[in-house]
Structure 1
Amino acid sequence: MPDLKTTPLYEYYKRQDAKLIDFGGYLLPVQISGIKNEHNAVRNSAGIFDVSHMGEFLVEGIETEKFLQQMVTNDVSKIKPGDALYTAMCYEDGGTVDDLMIYCLTKNKFQLVVNAANIEKDFEWLSSHLTQDVKIIDLSAKTALLAIQGPKAISIAQKITDFELNTIPHFKFSEKVLLKNVPCLISRTGYTGEDGLEIYCPWDQAPGLWDALLEAGEEDGLIPCGLGARDTLRFEARLPLYGQELSATITPLEAGIGFAVKTNKTADFFGKEVLSKQKEEGLKRKVVGLEMIDRAIPRTHYHVYVGKNKVGEVTTGTQSPTLGKNLGLALIDIDWTKIGTLVDIDIRGKRKQAKVIKTPFYKKA
């Protein structure tokens, strides 16, 4: 596979004979020991993910908060140093540029974490709107990201640090935490629906930290995980994936992340007018959960019908490893989004019945 980037764990994947694919321009593993095995490990004990393909930007300067307020949908003025914020970034028409995390380092310095496939696009979009007192630096090639997730994740990571990790609240972070003497930014966040940590460290230190965490968690059932389990885990928790639930043609409100859209903040931001109108007048379509009644699995891009009328399209679908049900997320016309509504999915030319159900499909106890 020519011209694909690799992460610091590439040699590890080769030794494990992992199944590698192109994801966002990176050569990454779909699975290492099996998707269901990895998925269940995260739900029941812990799993570790190499997420170093994600992009990291440093944005700083005296006008940074004002700049970010104009660029993203959430309210950056509400966060203080040590806070993490999930948000979307939109075009003027309300379509989504990307969804991202913002870490407030100081009043005038923030770290943005963006999706791998969007690194170049996001950097250009942000750079094209920079003001004189703000600068942006792409740190993606220098920054590795490991995510340890699951009910035992914190206690496992605690074995290789003197820092009290449980003192980091959810959606907060701490800088310069030493894990095996490696300085890390550690965030109490994740993409699995479980408790856990996201660990930002120097690129060349990631393999050593990976090995140290796996060794620390061996007795607790910690295993390495690939993209397949990451996708089924986030899907069950109803966390959107850019390119599926979110895109340039799907607004954050349609995708179901309205909590990250603050149209009442005083700052104008790209898409504010359109999103405000959607909030006031109501959506014409939205992403909903589906459960198959007939025996079939809904897959991405399968069409959704009511009678002869096409009313939407599946954005993600699979058999839920946790629930054992065939489930999907679909963007469908608003008239057919009420819980209990029956629809048909066109699966390879055959209509299979499904019903609209509540999401998230899974929520940890």
Structure 2
Amino acid sequence: MSSESLAAALARVGSPVELLRNLAFPPSTFPVRPEFTNWRSEQRAWVESCALLDQSHHMTDLFIEGPDALRLLSDLAVNTFAGFGVGKAKQYVAVNPDGHLIGDAILFHLEEELFDLVGHPMVIDWVTFHLERGDYEATVERDDNSAVRTSGPPKLYRYELQGPTAAALIEEVTGAPLPQVRFFNTTEFTIAGRRVRGLRHGMAGQPGFELFGPWDDGDAVLEALLTAGEHHGLVRVGAKAYSTANLESGWVPAPMTALFSNHPLMQEYREWLPVTKVGSIGGSHDPADIRDHHLTPFDVGYGKTVRFDHDFVGREALEKLAEAPPRTKVTLVWNADDVTAAVGSVYRPGPGAKYIEMPKARYATHHEDKVLKDGRQIGISLDCGYLANERVMVSLATLENEFAEPGTEVTVVWGEQPVSGKPAVEDHVQVEIRATVAPVPFVDFAREAYRTR
């Protein structure tokens, strides 16, 4: 694997836009079985019964330990750490000095001086960089995801249980009443004689727990869950269905990492960061300035997470942005006739529309499509895919505030022109797909309003 830095790659190519649009890096992958039954039925499970998702393989863990571990994390996060004691977790969000997103991950406070930062590598690389250059008494142990780990299994197993029957299943498999634990707090269970940590969690609008523990205990815990699950409609969910769960709950999984600020800190980071750690960009959003791809926490719904009760990288910039955030996160429901026409174009003499993958249509690490109103770009469509429960194609998007009202009609531009050099991009033409603004999370709106239309 190349050790070329991002800074060196930029010097070689000359343009960050050209570099990232043509990188041969695919969307983030889920190195687990694609389907156990079929992804449509598996999507239905977290609404009707209980879904079991194996999260052991697709995320990176960074274990941070030492007396300065909390200070390191606080110095880089927009989040407050007031009351963040052992047994708690949070959506950890980091920005660059200009207030633009580096990324997000889940942070677990495991022991007094031990934390586990879990997610895509963007934030994990950022924290590691600051630990190496800063004055922190802390150490890290990194456990990469199974797609890139060089040897051995993961350090931890992680099983997600979500759906209406998840609580009853846990009570059966533990032989005890479900403990009263608040959202994003952890508790402990005993399953198959093993100590299991459980994060009170929710996905796609459904209650549940994320269960985790040492890898060697994983098979015994899984077998116990599958056996008890026979009485509760348990369905194992593969990579295809799991990749769409965020579209119902409203989480943007891979916003563009803001690496290209002119700030000296970011120049230093680009010299440190291998280009292999940088994701490709895809979609019709094609500004000449790479910084116009960057997003803020407010753009993707993290406004409530930003707290100015501590100093952190990017605080001054975010204080100014917080005065009047210009964009709002929404769901876009794509017009069924327009999607059908785009899909149908591949069966006629071409080139036709860019192929729309099912159920997840994203074809680069960071997906950004233009959203238009009366021909003018008013936002960016981000992650996109098909929801079998609602029988709709949707995307998460960030729009200028005046166009974020549910019911507003907009247009998504699908496809790239000129066609980039990414392997997943074939010769095609751009098409316009009408869409209707809906709330985030879409799953609540769909159950209350969309299905009754």
TM-score range, shorter chain: 0.7 to 0.9
Find the partner of 2:41 among 30, 37, 43.
37
TM-score for the superposition, normalised by structure 1: 0.82
Secondary structure at 2:33 match in 1: strand
Deviations 1:254-274 (A, max 9, x none): 111212211x21x21122122
Deviation at 1:210, TM superposition (A): 1.8
Q: CA RMSD in A?
A: 2.7
Find the partner of 1:350 among 427, 431, 434.
431
User: Is the contact made by 2:334 and 2:435 (CA closer than 8 Å) also made in structure 1?
Assistant: yes
Q: Which residue of 2 aligns with 1:279?
A: 322
- Within 2, Cα distance between the matches of 1:25 and 1:227? 8
Deviations 1:92-134 (A, max 9, x none): 222322212222234433222222x548624533533553322
Pair 1:77–1:271, CA change in 2 (3 A): same
Q: Does 1:50 align with 2:54?
A: yes
Q: Does 1:359 align with 2:436?
A: no
Secondary structure at 2:250 match in 1: coil
Pair 1:31–1:125, CA change in 2 (3 A): farther
Find the partner of 1:252 among 277, 297, 304.
297
> Aligned AA for 1:358?
P
Pair 1:302–1:67, CA change in 2 (3 A): closer
Secondary structure at 1:79 match in 2: coil
> Aligned AA for 1:125?
F
Unpaired runs of 5+ residues, structure 2, are: 1-25, 145-153, 259-293, 340-355, 363-367, 415-428, 449-453
- Within 2, Cα distance between the matches of 1:120 and 1:65? 15
Find the partner of 2:384 among 317, 324, 327.
317
Deviation at 1:162, TM superposition (A): 4.3
Aligned length: 337
User: Is the contact made by 1:123 and 1:138 (CA closer than 8 Å) also made in structure 2?
Assistant: no
Q: Which residue of 2 aligns with 1:103?
A: 108
TM-score for the superposition, normalised by structure 2: 0.67
User: Is the contact made by 1:65 and 1:107 (CA closer than 8 Å) also made in structure 2?
Assistant: no
Deviation at 1:207, TM superposition (A): 2.6
Find the partner of 2:155 among 122, 136, 142.
142
> Aligned AA for 1:255?
V
Q: Which residue of 1 aligns with 2:334?
A: 292
Q: Does 1:151 align with 2:164?
A: yes
- Within 2, Cα distance between the matches of 1:51 and 1:122? 22
- Within 2, Cα distance between the matches of 1:71 and 1:302? 29
- Within 2, Cα distance between the matches of 1:353 and 1:229? 25
- Within 1, Cα distance between the matches of 2:123 and 2:322? 29
User: Is the contact made by 1:148 and 1:198 (CA closer than 8 Å) also made in structure 2?
Assistant: yes
Higher relative contact order (CA 8 A, sep 6+): 2
Deviation at 1:27, TM superposition (A): 2.7
Alignment of 1:181-220 (within 5 A): 181-220=193-232
Secondary structure at 1:252 match in 2: coil
Deviation at 1:198, TM superposition (A): 0.6
Pair 1:164–1:102, CA change in 2 (3 A): farther
User: Is the contact made by 2:102 and 2:123 (CA closer than 8 Å) also made in structure 1?
Assistant: no
Select the structure that is richer in strand.
1
The range that moved more, 286-295 or 117-126, is: 117-126
- Within 2, Cα distance between the matches of 1:36 and 1:126? 43
Pair 1:185–1:34, CA change in 2 (3 A): same
Secondary structure at 1:254 match in 2: coil
Q: Which residue of 2 aligns with 1:269?
A: 312
- Within 1, Cα distance between the matches of 2:135 and 2:157? 29
Unpaired runs of 5+ residues, structure 1, are: 1-21
Structure having the higher Rg:
2
Q: Which residue of 2 aligns with 1:167?
A: 180
> Aligned AA for 1:52?
S
Find the partner of 1:59 among 52, 61, 64.
64
